[in-house]
Amino acid sequence: MQIGGLVPFTLSDFPGEIAATCFVQGCNFSCPFCHNRPLIPRSSPEAAEAGTEKILSFLSRRKGKVTALVVSGGEPTLQQDLDDFLEQVKALGLKVKLDTNGSRPKVLKRLLEKDLLDFVAMDVKAPWEKYHVLAGRPVDTGVLEQSVKLILDCGIRCLFRTTFVPGLLDHEDIEKIRGILPSGAPYRVQPYVKPALAA
């Protein structure tokens, strides 16, 4: 696992749980509004040094105080040893939430079949015809549709979400996204917050 960072405590990323959030290195999208652009490259020296052992050691020490781990990114499903990592997290008695862009439904299906996930949040970035703009590159929206169906059919907690970026999305786009998702699917539109400039 290429770990790009760790937030040791959050009450908002996994509703109802006291969680830590780890960010993996590497993403197959290049969203122009991304808050985590340093995580887009597939590897970095910093990520190589901050590997899974440090995360697992931290979680082990916090056992009883932290109840869950959120795995975000980057795009976690690109990680070769994600299954093994999540198995070790679950062995600590923790719940797992996966944040994903939905681009790798085969990986998602495998993780669900292994019962390694307790919550899945998928970003639905735009209406299908506009997806390449918000993702920053061509996207096979058919695989995204597969992921939406997998998530809705799996029986665990889920959330679909869109970051509303003025100038890239409008309210008509949001209505089109709502039409993509089946009626009753948990969906949230979150406002884009411009990252603060580095000092």
pLDDT tens digits for range 16-69: 999 999 999 999 999 999 988 888 887 766 655 557 889 999 999 998 999 999
Q: What is the pLDDT of residues 112-134, one digit of tens each?
A: 999 999 999 999 999 999 999 99
- CATH number given to 3-191: 3.20.20.70
The pLDDT of residue 199 is: 36
Return the pLDDT at 198. 40
**pLDDT-based confidence at residue 11 (cuts at 50, 70, 90):** very high
Q: Where are the alpha helices (DSSP H) in 36-161?
A: 45-49, 52-61, 82-91, 105-113, 131-135, 141-153
Enter the pTM of the model: 0.93
pLDDT tens digits along 144-164: 999 999 999 999 999 999 999
Is the distance from CB of 71 to CB of 98 less than 8 angstroms? yes
| Strands 95-100 and 119-123, sheet pairing | parallel
User: Over the stretch 69-85, which tens digit does the pLDDT of each residue have?
Assistant: 999 999 999 999 999 99
The answer for residues whose C-beta is within 8 angstroms of residue 199's C-beta and 6 or more apart is none
Helix (H, G, I), strand (E, B) or coil at 8: strand
- 3-class DSSP state of 55: helix
Tokens representing residue 28 in the block: 């197959």
Question: What was the pLDDT predicted at 45?
Answer: 60
The structural domains of the chain, with segments of one domain joined by +, span 3-191
